[in-house]
Amino acid sequence: MVSGERAYAHVVELAQRIGSRTAGSDAEQAAADYIADQFTSYGYQPTLEPFEVKYYVEQASRLEVLSPEATTLEPRALSLSAAGEATGDLAAAGIGRPGDFPTEGMTGRVALLERGELTFSDKVANAAAAGVAAVIVYNNQPGSFRGDLGDESAIPAVGISQEEGQRLLGLLAQGPVTVRLSVEAGFEQGTSQNVIARPPDGRCEEVVGAHYDSVEAGPGANDNASGVAALLETARVLAAGGDREGVCLVAFGAEEVGLVGSQRFVANLDPDERQVLRGMVNLDMVGVGDQWQLIGSPELAQEVDAQASSLGLDPVATELPAGLGADQSNFIGAGIPAVLIHRFDDPRYHSAEDQVQFVEPRLLQEATELTLLALRVLEAP
Ligand code: BES
Ligand code: ZN
């Protein structure tokens, strides 16, 4: 019997007792130990797959308007932005195409660009080529965003909300605006690991996975202690039913710094095992929200969707919103069918508010049942 309450106890352990579990941290290690102990208690012999992670950390970013009036905005460094500080006059330059920058007078200025059409990396490179000292990108839809440059930039670059962008444009319409922008950020290094519970004969025909690390900002109750809770409950139910054949259960480390754990797991599969691996089920953010979503390989997602009515559930097969990433994509990228089981939507994820009291035990139970269903689909398509 699947138990939402048993699963919920894991969320409390991971997100409340241990708390924020950033990749490479002692807390992430403590979470790995907890997960390994749980697998052991169900009769598995878990192994650890360690790896080094180097990751970008934004310590602090600041953006102040110095004149015509003093205000403080809330910037967020684009991931891999250069660290540094710049003070200068603001210059709006469209979306940041080369032709959007005036040919003169840009040296030392701070460019204000709209998000969209070009990659962040191209916008910032074009700005640097025009002589600009730092870049602010404002959102092209309401709210703020987490942008990623993909590569280290030459000059500091931050993102702000559409509302803040419009405020700056409003000031610029009245005359010169002087701003000071600073980004404090850099790289840190540490050890992370995957925690793997293999079946008695050792080979994975199906993989169930969930990442157990979190962002720095909060305790990661829904993202993703919830997925780990459903993973552990799946492991317990399979072991109790004597049904471990072919199923590997994997808790991935270092997802939030670039899907690193799942990438390592896929890279380390030996060729024979890859041959027999039929598919992967990823559990990420399954404890909050109004709607089950199945995201990934369309055939697999649609088949699980079609059979979910047997559980009294009505998920939708859909796609991950642009700009987001999750571990199933490393499997799909390696030619292995995979589906993300996800609950839409959680306004508190990646914040200090992602706490245990918002996670619903009933949803953890449903996520576990959907996982068992997806395993049956993979076993007998
Ligand atoms: N759980 C999120 C991804 C997610 C968010 C899926 C909302 C569905 C809806 C995941 O932990 C995450 O934040 N991933 C990063 C991946 C990046 C570091 C490669 C992301 O999307 O920014
Ligand atoms: Zn996640």
Instruction: Write out the two tokens for 241.
Output: 């039913």
Ligand 1 centroid distance, CA of 98 (Å):
31
CA distance 305 to 293: 9
Residues 115 and 162 in one domain: yes
- Evaluate: CB of 326 within 6 angstroms of ligand 1: yes
- What range does the domain containing 295 cover? 4-45+198-379
Tell me, what CATH number does 280's domain have? Answer: 3.40.630.10
Atom of ligand 1 nearest to the CA of 295: 8
- Evaluate: CB of 53 within 6 angstroms of ligand 1: no
Residues 73 and 8 in one domain: no
Boundary of a domain, candidates 152, 185, 218: 185
CA distance 114 to 179: 17
pLDDT at 380: 85
In-domain check, residue 190 = no
Ligand 1 centroid distance, CA of 92 (Å):
31
Q: CA-based angle 98:103:106, to the nearest 5? A: 95
Residues 208 and 102 in one domain: no
Bridging pattern class, strands 76-77 and 157-160: antiparallel
Q: How many domains does the structure of the chain reveal?
A: 2
pLDDT at 331: 98
- Type of residue found at 237: V
Q: What secondary structure does DSSP assign to 357-373, as a single string?
A: GG--HHHHHHHHHHHHH
Residues 79 and 27 in one domain: no
The residues whose Cβ lies within 5 A of ligand 2, an ion, are 223-224, 284
Residues 249 and 307 in one domain: yes
Query: For the chain, how many residues are written?
Result: 381
pLDDT at 323: 81
DSSP tag of 174? T
In-domain check, residue 218 = yes
Residues 222 and 90 in one domain: no
In-domain check, residue 52 = no
In-domain check, residue 106 = yes
In-domain check, residue 225 = yes
Boundary of a domain, candidates 154, 185, 216: 185
Residues 63 and 148 in one domain: yes
Boundary of a domain, candidates 185, 207, 241: 185
Residues 267 and 133 in one domain: no
Contact 381, 326 (CB under 8 A): no
Q: Whose CA is nearest to atom 2 of ligand 1?
A: 326
In-domain check, residue 349 = yes
In-domain check, residue 53 = no
Residues 241 and 366 in one domain: yes
Ligand 2 centroid distance, CA of 270 (Å):
26
Residues 213 and 349 in one domain: yes
Q: CB within 8 A of 321, min separation 6: which ones?
A: none
In-domain check, residue 50 = no
Report CA-CA distances (Å) from 102 to 76, 87, 90, 153, 218.
26, 19, 13, 21, 42
pLDDT at 217: 83
Residues 22 and 129 in one domain: no
Residues 69 and 181 in one domain: yes
pLDDT at 57: 87
Q: Return averaged pLDDT per consecutive 10 residues of the chain, 381 residues in all.
A: 98 98 96 98 98 91 97 96 98 97 95 97 97 97 89 96 97 97 95 97 95 94 99 98 96 96 97 95 98 97 98 97 92 97 96 96 98 96 63
pLDDT at 381: 63
Ligand 1 centroid distance, CA of 323 (Å):
8
CA distance 68 to 28: 46
CA distance 196 to 78: 33
- Evaluate: CB of 285 within 6 angstroms of ligand 1: yes
Q: CA-based angle 40:45:50, to the nearest 5? A: 105
CA distance 215 to 238: 30
Tell me, what CATH number does 63's domain have? Answer: 3.50.30.30
